[in-house]
Amino acid sequence: MPSRRMLLAQAASLAGAALTPAAWTAAAAQTRLADDPFQLGVASGEPTPDGMVLWTRLAPKPQEMGSGMTPAPVAVRWEIAGDEGLKRIVAKGQALAVAEAGHSVHVEVQGLRPGRDYWYRFTAGGHASPVGRTRTAPAPGAVVERLRIAYSSCQKYSAGFYSAHAGIAAEAPDLVLFLGDYIYEGAADGKGVRPHPVEEPVDLAGYRQRYAWYKADPDLQAAHAAAPWMVIWDDHEVANDYGDDQDRSNPPPDVFLKRRAAAYQAFYENMPLRRTQRPVGPSLLLYRSLAWGNLAGLQFLDTRQYRNHRTCEAVSDGKRIPADCPERFDPARSLLGAPQETWLQGQFRASQARWNLLAQQYLMGEFAGEGGKKVGNDGWDGYVQTRRRVMEGWRDAKVSNPVVLGGDIHCFFAGDLAMAPGGKALASEFVGGSISSLGRPNIDIVQRLGWNPHLKFGDGETRGYGRLDITPKACTVTFRGVENALVSRSPMRDLARFVVEDGEAGLKRA
């Protein structure tokens, strides 16, 4: 079996092979493509005050293995303008889409003006892509009066349609956050409202096909084209409930790391990420931060790659463990890993932002069931001291207005976080439901709210997303719900609204 070192070396050599002069010559000779190669749309992400990443991936036949592309490289031209009609071009260039990178393109644009809208497109083989809208971040420390963020997670393709993404596109937010489970890796089971490939992906070709199947959805493409995205992953981008080198089906670690390397490569190929985030074997640096002038600072966490293995497995029913299991309180256990925890605490100490958003995958507060006797061991409840260290970091650094955003659980939840049960609120958290993945009956949610009084709202039957409207005085969170995710282009409605006021921890209904 390949070792971790061998996987790293293979990935490094693969990355270097993609940019040879001979490849450029071959690409230049290929002038036309028979079919539209832009059927996965366009995207942008990782905004900075002077630029962002522009992304596309060539796929004339998205649902086929290989997406209808030959091994030959293709020259892709790009342009970005200060107007929607692309009359005032401010930057342009050419990139190379190569088979070794799934014919994806990641263009890192620089030299733009801060805090501005821009529009962009690609051309290749005689075809033009859709036009996308993007935006630069404000200048460092700039006075910013408003920020609109849409955030979402969990978009199982077979479970429902992506009307929520059409809603996000209509919002025209400044920024979109995706908090994990962009794809689901499971084999087709004949259930759901629309099919996807039958086989569960375990190699790069399989993951590439699964992403292409998802990204061909027009509503998802519209949301990507509406604003820059910041993305993090959860488990289903690789395998259900995995952590570090452990998969729930318990293959040997070296076998699983080979699969993880393939999944991470496909994730990179299909997201608007920077070259510094390109994976090396089974490793990809995904935790990072984003500053939005003086108004908001955001930290994005990776809770999968570095965590300790699941705890209390001997007394687990597969998902839940006894709340009094002593192992989950072990301070040596970390959901984030020591280097990421150190980085996060440094972010807290350095923050000068009015609002501080922690973007991660889960419901962060304890989520007890069965009368408070059981908790899960796949999220923060299995790593109690990591959660405590995060809250102590907010308190000790006097972080201004901490707000947690989460996903994973396929439900909407809003609640407060405190150092001790029933204590004074230190922060508030908002789990923004799921795009399509099915949740819990609301009769169960009502019962859970009784067992978890720090949670003030819950809904498990509605699919949708969360929207933040941030000003210096308040952070207003609106849960937006789809009327029926089992039909295409379902209308949206406001499900609930909350406000956190500047300098006053704890949410209020708005």
Give 85-104 pLDDT, tens digit per residue.
999 999 999 999 999 999 99
Q: What is the pLDDT of residue 30?
A: 56
Over its C-alpha atoms, the chain yields an Rg (Å, rounded) of 22
Q: How far from chain centre, in Å, is Cα 58? A: 22
Could you please report the per-residue DSSP string of 283-305? B----EEEEETTTEEEEE---SS
If one compares 506 and 195, the residue with the highest pLDDT of the two is 506
Collect all residues with Cβ–Cβ distance below 8 Å to 291 and sequence separation of at least 6: 137, 140, 297, 298, 353
Q: What is the pLDDT of residue 503?
A: 96
Q: What is the pLDDT of residue 2?
A: 42
Q: What is the pLDDT of residue 24?
A: 54
Give the residue extent of every domain in the chain. Answer: 286-509
pLDDT of residue 11 exceeding 70, the answer is no
Q: What is the pLDDT of residue 9?
A: 41
Q: What is the pLDDT of residue 130?
A: 98
Contact 303, 334 (CB under 8 A): no
Contact 409, 362 (CB under 8 A): yes
pLDDT of residue 22 exceeding 80, the answer is no
- Mean pLDDT score across all residues of the chain: 93
Q: What's the CATH number of domain 286-509, 3.40.50.620, 3.40.50.300, 3.30.1330.10, 3.60.21.70?
A: 3.60.21.70
Least confident of 21-30, 39-48, 69-78, 309-318: 21-30
Give 47-68 pLDDT, tens digit per residue.
999 999 999 999 999 999 999 9
Q: What is the pLDDT of residue 34?
A: 84
Q: What is the pLDDT of residue 31?
A: 56
Rounded Cα–Cα distance for residues 139 and 47 (Å): 11
pLDDT of residue 20 exceeding 80, the answer is no
**Section 5-25 average pLDDT:** 44
Q: What is the pLDDT of residue 318?
A: 82
Give 317-342 pLDDT, tens digit per residue.
888 999 999 999 999 999 999 999 99
Helix (H, G, I), strand (E, B) or coil at 429: strand
Q: What is the pLDDT of residue 6?
A: 45
DSSP 397: T
Give 167-221 pLDDT, tens digit per residue.
999 999 999 999 999 999 999 888 899 988 889 999 999 999 999 999 999 999 9
Contact 464, 480 (CB under 8 A): yes
Give 249-282 pLDDT, tens digit per residue.
889 999 999 999 999 999 999 999 999 999 999 9
pLDDT of residue 13 exceeding 90, the answer is no
pLDDT band at 1 (very low <50, low <70, confident <90, very high): very low
Give 384-430 pLDDT, tens digit per residue.
999 999 999 999 999 999 999 999 999 999 999 999 999 999 999 99
3-class SS string, 424-452: CEEEEEEEECCCCCCCCCHHHHHHHHHHC
* Percent of the chain whose pLDDT exceeds 70: 94
Q: What is the pLDDT of residue 3?
A: 47
Give 346-398 pLDDT, tens digit per residue.
999 999 999 999 999 999 999 999 888 999 999 999 999 999 999 999 999 99
Give 444-471 pLDDT, tens digit per residue.
999 999 999 999 999 999 999 999 999 9
Q: What is the pLDDT of residue 36?
A: 96
* Residue 468 bridge partners (DSSP): 149, 477
Give 292-310 pLDDT, tens digit per residue.
999 999 999 999 999 999 9
3-class SS string, 192-203: CCCCCCCCCCCC
| Number of neighbours of residue 301 by Cβ within 10 angstroms | 22
Q: What is the pLDDT of residue 124?
A: 97
Q: What is the pLDDT of residue 26?
A: 55
Q: What tokens appear for 436 in the block?
A: 């399509």
Rounded Cα–Cα distance for residues 422 and 419 (Å): 9
* Percent of the chain whose pLDDT exceeds 90: 89
Helix (H, G, I), strand (E, B) or coil at 404: strand
Nearest 5 degrees, angle CA 344-CA 347-CA 350?
155
Q: What is the pLDDT of residue 27?
A: 52
**DSSP alpha helix (H) spans, 232-368:** 253-269, 338-350
